[in-house]
A and B are shown apart, each in its own frame.
Chain A
Amino acid sequence: MMEILMSLLVGLFFTIGTYLILSKNLMRIILGTSIITHGVHLLILTMGGLKNGGPPLLGESFAAFTDSLPQALILTSIVINFAVTALFLVLSYRAYKTLGTVDIEEMRGTADE
């Protein structure tokens, strides 16, 4: 049951992210990529299987342990996403200062640059 709810949530994240990426404003596009990445993280968590055992610690007396690998993957991915989003934001600010717009349509360049 929990997995189905999570899958729906992941779908919602992807929908919102895709909608934002398709807009013309650069800020919304960047937020869209960020939301899609969060959806991906939840997907990894769901795919690893939810709530089927205790915490994966030695010395605890559980019959089954939760798979800890997806969490390690997500942690790595969050760090990478954090760095990429920061870089993306900085670049878009620089682009705004240089090109004078955050509208993708207006950014279209000319041939003689």
Chain B
Amino acid sequence: MNNVVILPVIIPVIAGLMMVLFRKKIRLHRLLSVLALFALLLVSIFLILQIETVGIQVLQAGGWPAPYGISFVADMFAALLLLSASIVALFCLLYSFRSIGREREEHYFYPLFLFLIAGVNGSFLTGDLFHLFVCFEVMLISSYVLISLGGTGRQLRESLKYILVNVVSSSLFLVAVAYLYALTGTLNFAHLSVVVAKVGQEGLMTTVALLFLLVFSIKSALFLFFWLPESYSAPPTAIAAIFAALLTKVGLYTIFRMFTLIFYHEPQITHQFIGVLGAATMVLGAFGAVAFSDIKKILTYNVIVGAGFVIAGLAAFTADGVMGSVFYLLHDILVKGLIFLIGGAIIRLTGTSNLNEVSGLIRYHPYLGWMFFISALSLAGIPPLSGFVGKIFITKGTFQAEYFWLGAVGLLTSLMVLYSLMKVFMNVFWGETTLSKEKEKGTTKGLVLPISGLTALSVMLGLGAEVILPYVRIAAETLLVPSQYIKAVLGLGE
């Protein structure tokens, strides 16, 4: 039992609720939200250190023993994701101070932001399938409001589609939960793992597993990403960045949890299917990224490519593949957030997201340009940046599992990602400077600071990979040996 495990969920909730009471006090909102996210950062570092020395941390809510109550479980995978989520949230928050606007701030932007983080953290930490659904809904309802906050025509239209897609997929989620409950009679992850291992993963169980895969594919933009490009380009930059960095990753995290802990008995069916989905996602996402000449569209399609790449490591299902996936997830959370923030800064300067109307920004904004360059290289996986480490492990994993096609697709789409981002870089930053300093539509004052902070961190993640890899290795090992998780949750007796 460890009460610290629940802190990442309740800190943002309590801070958010306090802010709701004082609606007009924007300064208080800013202070409280920074403090809350900073506290989250410290808590997740504390959890990581504790997991490293003592092992998986568990909290049984209300003191009810495992299969009967709701368990909160922090293993290394969840804790690492908590850490990167709180980092990227902190920087998106700093970015929003100067860009989100008074109107949105007064309409509960900061509380909603924190509720979103609470939902994300809850999904990472929960050890119960139905509680996972509840955390998902907390996250989604906050995102519904955030995506429509401001109420422009485009935002409203996209939010309606976004809500519809998510409501339908949430219903399917519950259908899958109902079937699984009928088959196993439990909803606790660890207990589910034990029961599924005992009764065997027969045809019906695999069907339920695929239904879960369908649900989380919609949520994580794995193959079923039709809703993503439009809805992620509608909201303002800070919101789009946190969506791109975190929301799809929560879906990916759940796929990892379900298919390493519970449904790992038939990898030649489920994991191979996941691999096919991953490859298709990478190819389609990369084509989208190459095809458009709109910054927002290019970046949102890159989110989709990232989802496909992360899942390739799970499809391989080897130690190296899973390790690569965990590392790539951490990298993707930071760098996707970063590149969205930079893209937003460009649009703010020029007033347009069309590549053909912008050129030569590097003359007055060299830092912005080079930071975009660094994050583009990092996303494409150029050494020594952080994308490289993840990509090399994932590719190694797919080769070990003899999914050569999957590894090849991953590498080819990396080139397409590089091309799409270099297209942005060359169009926007090179060429004749058409926009004089006075004619700029907005200012990057206050925006460069969070961007450079996040750039520094993502470079450090690449250069300091040696420091982080031991933790990633622990995370991957825990994922591949479900008995550790089960033992921690259900106790030694079972």
A residues adjacent to B (C-beta < 8 A): 21, 26, 29, 33, 36-37, 39-40, 43-44, 46-49, 69-70, 73, 76-77, 80, 83-84, 87-88, 91-92, 94-95, 98-99, 107, 109, 113
Q: 0/1 per residue, B132-150, Cβ < 8 Å to A?
A: 0110010001001100100
Q: Is the CB of B134 within 8 A of A76?
A: yes
A33 to chain B: closest residue by CB: B167
Does chain A have a CB within 8 A of B373?
A: no
B234 to A: closest C-beta gap in Å: 9
Chain B: interface size category: 20 to 34
Q: Is the CB of B163 within 8 A of A40?
A: no
Does chain A have a CB within 8 A of B460?
A: no
The docked-state distance in angstroms from the alpha carbon of A113 to that of B154 is 7
Q: 0/1 per residue, B153-181, Cβ < 8 Å to A?
A: 11011011001100110110011011101
Residue among B148, B178, B179, B181 with most chain A CB within 10 A: B178
Using known A-B contacts A21-B168, A91-B148, determine if residue A99 contacts B156 with beta carbons closer than 8 Å.
yes
Work out how many contacts link A and B, with CB atoms closer than 8 A. Answer: 88
Using known A-B contacts A33-B168, A40-B171, A99-B153, determine if residue A88 contacts B163 with beta carbons closer than 8 Å.
yes
Chosen A-B contacts, 17 in total, with CB atoms closer than 8 Å, are: A26-B160, A33-B167, A40-B171, A40-B175, A40-B178, A43-B175, A46-B178, A73-B130, A84-B144, A84-B167, A88-B160, A91-B148, A95-B156, A95-B160, A98-B151, A109-B153, A113-B153
Q: Is the CB of A44 within 8 A of B151?
A: no
Using known A-B contacts A73-B130, A98-B153, A109-B154, determine if residue A44 contacts B181 with beta carbons closer than 8 Å.
yes
Does chain A have a CB within 8 A of B492?
A: no
Does chain A have a CB within 8 A of B182?
A: yes
B164 to A: closest C-beta gap in Å: 6
B274 to A: closest C-beta gap in Å: 25
A58 to B: closest C-beta gap in Å: 15
Q: Is the CB of B178 within 8 A of A47?
A: yes
Q: Is the CB of B174 within 8 A of A77?
A: yes
Q: Which residues of B contact A26 (CB under 8 A)?
A: 160
Q: Which of B141, B156, B164, B182 contacts A87 (CB 8 A)?
A: B141
Q: Which residues of A contact B163 (CB under 8 A)?
A: 84, 87-88, 91
Q: Is the CB of B157 within 8 A of A80?
A: no
Q: Which residues of B contact A107 (CB under 8 A)?
A: 157, 160
Q: Which of B148, B168, B181 contacts A36 (CB 8 A)?
A: B168
B230 to chain A: closest residue by CB: A109
Q: Which residues of B contact A113 (CB under 8 A)?
A: 152-154
Q: Which residues of A contact B153 (CB under 8 A)?
A: 98-99, 109, 113
Using known A-B contacts A33-B167, A33-B171, A36-B168, determine if residue A109 contacts B160 with beta carbons closer than 8 Å.
no
Q: Is the CB of A76 within 8 A of B175?
A: no
Q: Is the CB of B178 within 8 A of A44?
A: yes
Q: Which residues of A contact B177 (CB under 8 A)?
A: 44, 73
**Leading 10 A-B pairs by shortest Cβ distance:** A47-B182, A47-B178, A95-B156, A44-B178, A40-B174, A33-B167, A113-B154, A80-B137, A43-B178, A40-B171
Additional pairs, 11, CB under 8 Å, beyond known A40-B178, A48-B182: A26-B160, A36-B171, A40-B171, A43-B178, A70-B178, A73-B177, A84-B163, A98-B151, A98-B152, A98-B153, A109-B153
Q: Is the CB of B164 within 8 A of A91?
A: no
Q: Is the CB of B164 within 8 A of A29?
A: yes
Using known A-B contacts A80-B134, A98-B151, determine if residue A92 contacts B160 with beta carbons closer than 8 Å.
yes
Q: Which residues of B contact A39 (CB under 8 A)?
A: 171
Q: Is the CB of A87 within 8 A of B171?
A: no
Q: Which residues of A contact B160 (CB under 8 A)?
A: 26, 88, 91-92, 95, 107
Q: Is the CB of A37 within 8 A of B141?
A: no
Q: Which residues of A contact B164 (CB under 8 A)?
A: 21, 29, 33
Q: Is the CB of B156 within 8 A of A94?
A: yes
Q: Is the CB of A99 within 8 A of B157?
A: yes
The docked-state distance in angstroms from the alpha carbon of A42 to that of B151 is 36
The docked-state distance in angstroms from the alpha carbon of A71 to that of B163 is 26
A77 to chain B: closest residue by CB: B174
Q: Which residues of A contact B179 (CB under 8 A)?
A: 47
A74 to B: closest C-beta gap in Å: 9
Q: Is the CB of A47 within 8 A of B154?
A: no
A34 to chain B: closest residue by CB: B167
The docked-state distance in angstroms from the alpha carbon of A84 to that of B163 is 9
The docked-state distance in angstroms from the alpha carbon of A89 to that of B218 is 23
Q: Is the CB of A91 within 8 A of B156?
A: yes
Q: Is the CB of B151 within 8 A of A37?
A: no
Contact residues, B20-39 vs A (CB, 8 A): none
Q: Which residues of A contact B137 (CB under 8 A)?
A: 80, 84
Q: Which residues of B contact A69 (CB under 8 A)?
A: 181, 187
B65 to A: closest C-beta gap in Å: 15
The docked-state distance in angstroms from the alpha carbon of A24 to that of B416 is 37
The docked-state distance in angstroms from the alpha carbon of A73 to that of B134 is 10
A27 to B: closest C-beta gap in Å: 12
Q: Is the CB of B181 within 8 A of A70?
A: yes
The docked-state distance in angstroms from the alpha carbon of A84 to that of B181 is 24
Q: Which residues of B contact A73 (CB under 8 A)?
A: 130, 177
Q: Which residues of B contact A80 (CB under 8 A)?
A: 134, 137
Q: Which residues of A contact B156 (CB under 8 A)?
A: 91, 94-95, 98-99
